[in-house]
Structure 1
Amino acid sequence: MTEASPENNAQQVRDAGVDRLQAGLKRRYARERRFKLYGRLAIAVAIGFLLLLLGRIIEQGHTAFYAHTVTIPVFIDPARVDRNYPAGTNFEQMVAEQTLARFHVEDDAAGSRTTAMRGLFSTELKYLIADRLQKEPGLIGQTIQVAAPMSDDADLYFKGNILRTTPANQRRLSDQQIDWLDRMKTEGMVSAHFNTALFTNGDSTEPELAGVLGAVVGSALMLLVTALIAIPLGVGAAVYLEEFSPRNRLSDLIEVNINNLAAVPSIVYGLLGLALFINWMHLPRSSPLVGGLVLALMALPTMIIATRSALKAVPPSIREAALAMGASRTQTVFHHTLPLAMPGVMTGGIISMAHALGETAPLLLIGMVSFVPGVPTAIDQPTGALPSLIYIWENASERAFHERTAAAILVLLGFMIVMNAGAILLRRHFERRW
């Protein structure tokens, strides 16, 4: 046997090294491909859950954006109407009796059929007729066409949420009432329309009359108070701690506590607001003022942390150049550093305000879970907020409130998108590149 030459041995070693290198490269590339695949899968799963959530909310809440009315002729009997006070007339009874007569249905001695027919109309019916007669008294004694709003159960039946096939003891509409509703629809008396009451009314105990206007205005006023307090204080504290504060144990302790406050559960801030602003300062309960103060306390740590991060991101050369040109420390910060950090500051404002908008627990503790039917006109008036309204409606016994819960969630998401879009546009206005 011939021995291998030194050149052959060196070539074999080089070939083995190349093979090991190529194998290592293949493994590394394979790991990179797997990592990219895992990232794509994670994004796909996140998008899937998001679409599932939004799809479920839209499926449940889209029916709240339209409602049904029935157009019926009503004879305004002069013998039953008080011309001086039309609102005192029982128009619901009048409409129910005339509708039964139109369907050639006789009432029983107890009047149960009239009561059942009245249950198909909303209580808003009497106010609609009374307001119309108040404006046009000459209609008394005539037959007028009235677009009567349906009750919540009748409206749900037309939307397909209540079925005839459901056992009678599991639905609030009787077979007789369903027969009347079918006849109204067959005769072309029923029509669907956009539910403007959802956006023009405040909260109500009647589902078909309940709206989100009061909660939207309450949330807007509350966020206004939060922004006016949290943003100036947060930016001011961050500028001092980052640019002017000496580095010592006290500043380190303050920084640690700010980071810890950002992780405190929101319900703790609600307890603090209850004890401080309501029990000690005696500010009005359930008001946007108290809600804004509580949410401002909660948003401050986030605002300070985000602003400090934005200030740190400004290149040191900016400060050095300003100081070299003779600018004072204050002029450097407010004329150069802070304007360049403004996009990051706006990002912190977006995050903190969006967080505050969706909070529910602090609002429950300061009384914003109570029923408030009106629309607030000042920051010291009792009101609700969109998160607390969603909580109230979801826990209501009437089934019609559940579709309005999903609709209120969509309104809340829309509110947040509009607010964030405005803040992003403002941030881009201040954005600078270097």
Structure 2
Amino acid sequence: MMASNFLPTLEFAKQLDNEDTLARFREEFYLKPGSIYMDGNSLGLLSKRAEKALLESLNDWKHYGIDGWTQGNHPWFFMPEELGKKLAPLVGASAEEVIVTGSTTVNLHQLVSTFYQPDGNRTKILADELTFPSDIYALQSQLRTHGFDPDTHLIRVKSRDGRFLEEDDIIEAMTDDVALIVLPTVLYRSGQILDIKRLTEEAHKKGILIGFDACHSAGAIPHYFSEWDVDFAFWCNYKHLNGGPGSVGGLYVNRKHFGKMPGLAGWFSSNKEKQFDMEHTLTPAHSAGAFQIGTPHVLSIAPLIGSLEIFTEAGIENIREKSLKINQYLVDLIDTELAEMGFFVGSPREDARRGGHVSLEHNEAARICKSLKENGIIPDFRAPNIIRLAPVALYTSYEEVWKVVQILKKIMTEKQYEKFKNEREVVA
């Protein structure tokens, strides 16, 4: 619903910036002059604090060598747990339930290998047809490892319109032969938020474990995984959490599962006090730390130290409040300025169902994205026809959003996009 006081003017955008309580955090980030960054849902920008934290870890290596594991500004041995404590409030969990480790797909493999325990008739995994392909590849792989055919044992809930999922359809698919459910918190194309609480309750009523891929929600919207009794979750830290390209991922395991042997064990699965006993019998940590596998990638974790400081100061509830407001402002501008040019908002209109980005559909999306880049706007393309635009609460201004829409209008009026091929680049 359009904001009641909305005006499609530059003056109104500047007014909103003047009222923005998070505006001061914009100065924390490296913003490229002459460019407007709208792709924070794919890769967040570098903050000065993240840079400082990385340089401090390099300095610890420089001065301490191997003693950097237990000495220096941020001892490496305890870094995954310390960052888990900082991440926990963002996903609604206790410190012991969150660990920084692995990557999205590695963590999914770890969690499925742990919690997928086919028994009798319960042998299938339930997912959806709109989820990110990497999750599907991992689930297919896990089924093959257990000797099952993914064509028959991986259920993918259908979308009614190609954009959204209906919770009723997912619940209907929770049949007696399902052993595990893995779903996204936010759909990566449309930005739809699923009703995590309801889906978890329904899964548990039917005796099914359920986990969530929070890649497109962590750092953008608050979660309450512990309160909702979610079994497990996993996410990347390089999108809304601004941890940098290849940043180490995060995972959550509900404390009721502590003590369960990890499906993929390694020496960092150990209880910290036992790890260097070098025994051939694993004593797993009684925390999410048990689901680590190998040595932490220290230099890929370090930027999160600085980045999460910003999140602690800003507060995830405040971030969500601005995110909703600035995304609604973008939608209002699209409706007012671009609707007659063939654009369609493919994201949910309701606040409660929309994540941290707006999905803008157009038949010439690939060409328009290239033209946007030529005009200094960094968008994101998803086949076949989606321009994803992400006004990020911590560093995007309302004036920038206004300018993006004006440039889109100019591109379409002048047909600037026609010089490009309507196909994606190697990296979209």
TM-score, structure 1 as length reference? 0.20
Structure that is richer in helix per residue: 1
Structure that is richer in strand per residue: 2
The structure with the larger Rg is 1
Which is bigger in relative contact order (C-alpha 8 A, separation at least 6)?
2
TM-score, structure 2 as length reference? 0.20
